[in-house]
Structure 1
Amino acid sequence: MADDTPDFEVPMGLFQDIEDLKAQVVALSAQVKALTEGVGEASGEAFEDDTAAGEEADTADEEEGFPPFILLLDSPQYDEELRGLIEWVEGVLVPGYLAEPSSDARWCPTWFDHPVAVARLHACWLAWQELTDPATCGYTGPSVWHRDHLDPCMAQLRGSSGPMAGCTKGEHQVDHRMPGIVPSAWKQAT
């Protein structure tokens, strides 16, 4: 009996798309599980106020090993997370991805003094931690990280209107876009 299946070639990009979809399914399955477990526990009980629920969610994330966003931390947790971020930026990002700074692509050596840079780089680092683990995201995770996280992050940070726009070689300005004196029109009438 002859085989009636048609011969066709599968484009290479299709395999990458499938791996991306697998990673998304794993992430969504985890979210659905977390949500359905939370609903099951809350059924028949009165819902707590939003503050208590938010605190429980933060605690649950920490217990599951998910680091909280750096701007939500207070000392000493903030300092500890910042140390890890500095280690990653200076050990991986700067030597591997940043070319010589220029007027089109600025970089401040004291980037950690720029709160916007800390926030964006921390988010990029969290994504890197997740997307460079083949067990959770397959082999296309690094490609997704470059496309969806690194490139947009660097474009925002290093662009002419980014948080490092006022920093040039030898000169560092953290609050270069913030007015030093409040204009009189903004002051309240006495």
Structure 2
Amino acid sequence: MTSPASGTGSDPVAGLTELLDQLTGTPGAAAPAQEGQAPELVFRDVDQFVSGYLALVLERRVASGPTPGITWCPRWWAHPEALSRLYALWRAWEALRITDPHTGMSIWWRDHLDPHLAALTGDAGPFSRCGADRHREPEPLRVEPAPAEVLAQLPDV
């Protein structure tokens, strides 16, 4: 996977065009799956998706000191909620790329990325205590075991 800055010389538009070609299945992209086979993934895992796509296409100001912006943690993978949400974003991106090649990416941005990114980077989100150059370990929610009589009222018991 190339970055938008790579490609032809230092022309960012040419580099972005090359990246989009790779991601949308145009020249040089992975071949479509044969019937009965799972489609080939563009990204082999969530880490490659975050570093090879998301970090390159998101243009958000990252908060730094008094400068406003989103709060992002460079160790995103160390936050269970972030790992789960970013994994879901990657899988939705891969699925929509295949199942709806015309409008899938727009749907992905609107229905998947925007709400997840807001939750991750919001004031109460998992990155709220981190910053562009620092990471604080996650603090799980405090829970107490549910009483057996409460669980017994649920239909799946």
Q: Same fold (TM over 0.5)?
A: yes
| Cα separation, 2, equivalents of 1:166 and 1:174 | 9
1:85/1:122 contact within 8 Å kept: yes
Aligned with residue 129 of structure 1, among 90, 94, 98 = 94
Structure 1 residue 65, shift from structure 2 partner: 4.2
Q: Tell me if 1:164 matches 2:119.
A: no
Aligned residues, how many? Answer: 100
SS in 1 for 2:45: helix
Greater relative contact order (CA < 8 Å, ≥ 6 in sequence): 1
How far residue 126 of structure 1 moved from its aligned partner, in angstroms, is 0.6
1:39-58 equivalence runs, <5 A: none
Mapped partners of 2:88, 2:117: distance in 1 = 12
- Offset, 1:170: 2.7
**Deviation at residue 137 of structure 1 after TM alignment:** 1.3
Instruction: Specify every segment of 5 or more residues in structure 1 that has no aligned partner in the other structure, as ranges.
Output: 1-62, 67-82
Bigger CA radius of gyration: 1
8 Å CA contact 2:74, 2:133 repeated in 1: no
Distance between the aligned counterparts of 1:109 and 1:168, measured in 2?
A: 8
2:108 aligned partner: 145
Which residue of the partner structure matches residue 137 of structure 2?
A: 174
Give the C-alpha shift of residue 130 in structure 1.
1.1
What is the root-mean-square deviation in Å for CA atoms of aligned residues? 2.5
Name 2:75's counterpart in structure 1: 110
Task: Note closer, same or farther for the CA distance 1:64–1:117 as it changes in structure 2 (3 Å cut).
Answer: farther
Question: For 1:64 and 1:105, how far apart are their aligned partners in 2?
Answer: 40
Give yes or no for contact 1:88–1:125 (8 Å, CA) kept in 2: yes
Q: TM-score, normalised by structure 2?
A: 0.56
Please tell me whether residue 120 in structure 1 is matched to residue 81 in structure 2.
no
Pick closer, same or farther for the CA change 1:171–1:132 going to 2, 3 Å.
same
Conservation of the 8 A alpha-carbon contact between 2:97 and 2:104? yes
Moved over 3 A (4+): 63-66
1:104 Cα deviation from its structure 2 partner: 4.2
Distance 2:78 2:104 in 1: 30
Question: Taking every aligned residue pair, what percent have the same amino acid on both sides?
Answer: 36
Deviation of 1:100 (Å): 3.2
Deviations 1:66-123 (A, max 9, x none): 9xxxxxxxxxxxxxxxx71111100100111142311541111110000100000010
Q: TM-score, normalised by structure 1?
A: 0.47
Conserved 8 A contact 1:104-1:160 = no
Alpha-carbon distance in structure 2 between the residues aligned to 1:121 and 1:138: 21
Deviation at 1:132, TM superposition (A): 1.6
